[in-house]
Amino acid sequence: MKGFKFAGIRAGIKKKDQKDLGMIYSDTPAVAAALFTRNKVVAAPVLLGKEKIKNGLCQAVLVNSGNANCFTGQKGIEDAIACTKIVAKSLDISEDFVLVSSTGVIGAILPMDKFETGVPALVGQLSENHVDDFADAILTTDTCRKIVTQTGTIGDKKFSIIGIAKGSGMIRPDMATMLAFICTDINILAEDLDACLRKANETSFNRITVDGDTSTNDTLLALANGAAQARVTDANSKKVFQEALTKVCFELAKMIVKDGEGATKLVQIIVKGAQTKQDAFKASEAIAHSNLVKTAIYGEDPNWGRITAAAGRSGAHVVPENMDLFFDDQPLVLKGNWQGAEAEKKTALIMKNNEITITLDLNLGQETDSFLFCDFSVDYVKINAEYRS
């Protein structure tokens, strides 16, 4: 990626012997856009980030895992600001161009001594080749790093995008996932980057759930440093970039759900044939967030009544007698009628797959929406019961 460098090290913030401090650095101040959590309990880095992003530029991002710096009062704000100062001094850049982000346990004060020694060491590790190190440093309960790359062409000029995310639990975004960072070398105005990011987010990070919990630290940040010759100058070039950005965001969102805490299956629920777009959203969201549906998926039980019941309580306009329900291509309900024991047996076999598509056709209109979600397993309870130990 032209003009971007990455690093990730173990600074000692986590109890375990894992990387826990990462950095993204642009050789020049990059155009920046960001979306943050809508939770009313908000982490200090989010409060600071909402103010800093207003200038539309960012050159360095510092991310720590193991400590959310949330519910830490004025001390948390002061520590977040102090982190930007440490980064700015170490890189010899303006602190106005430094953003910080945190993830981990809520309520704990940042161990600032770890940042004072860790940030200079981190700066010494910055390299175009250290994306994996950065991706590892921002993980918490994740079982794998999450990186997606994409290239595109505007005219005869190429551009690249790389997306790096973390997220496994506390995932019910009302804007983004827990943490996601998008870097691109395209030349684009701040207002266009913001518009593209919002549009990409709506069909990706805003359409996933693991457990129905919205994080206090959710941040989706995009940086465009203009190092490539490709430029967004009109509707056509904006469309090309939008498609590439949306693909990166969707694939990252999919990886987050697939790596959901204790998850064994990735499920897409598609609600089609709705009278309105809002009806399609309401029904798909209710099904994706239903614990009864999620446990049935884990148990590989084609308990279709849980799905139709979730749609019925969603607030969407539904007519039970009109409903069709499919698991992949297997019909389980047609025009409100159960298709019998043989159909359930075939559906049960489909449910053994790691990835499943459920389609609910309301047969009332033309609107469609969808969500990605995962099952609930015993391991989810264990992971979260032991999270702080």
Residue 30, judged by CB atoms within 10 A of its CB (0-12, 13-18, 19+), counts as: buried
**Options 177, 184, 219, 347, the catalytic residue:** 177
> Minimal CA–CA distance to 29: which of 109, 122, 94, 115?
94
Distance of alpha carbon 98 from alpha carbon 305, whole angstroms:
51
Residue 147, judged by CB atoms within 10 A of its CB (0-12, 13-18, 19+), counts as: middle
Q: Identify residue 240 by its one-letter amino acid code.
A: V
Per-residue burial over 253-273, b if 16 or more Cβ lie within 10 Å, else e, is bbbbbbbbbbbebbbbbbbbb
Residue 4 has phi, psi (to 5 degrees) of: -115, 145
Q: Which helix (H) or strand (E) holds 282?
A: helix 277-289
Distance of alpha carbon 291 from alpha carbon 380, whole angstroms:
12
Distance of alpha carbon 333 from alpha carbon 341, whole angstroms:
11
> Minimal CA–CA distance to 148: which of 9, 261, 245?
245
Distance of alpha carbon 299 from alpha carbon 372, whole angstroms:
18
Q: Is 359 a catalytic residue?
A: no
CA distances from 91 to 13, 100, 130, 252, 338 (A): 21, 14, 17, 29, 65
CA distances from 36 to 28, 116, 118, 315 (A): 24, 26, 26, 27
Distance of alpha carbon 121 from alpha carbon 385, whole angstroms:
34
Which residues are designated catalytic? 177
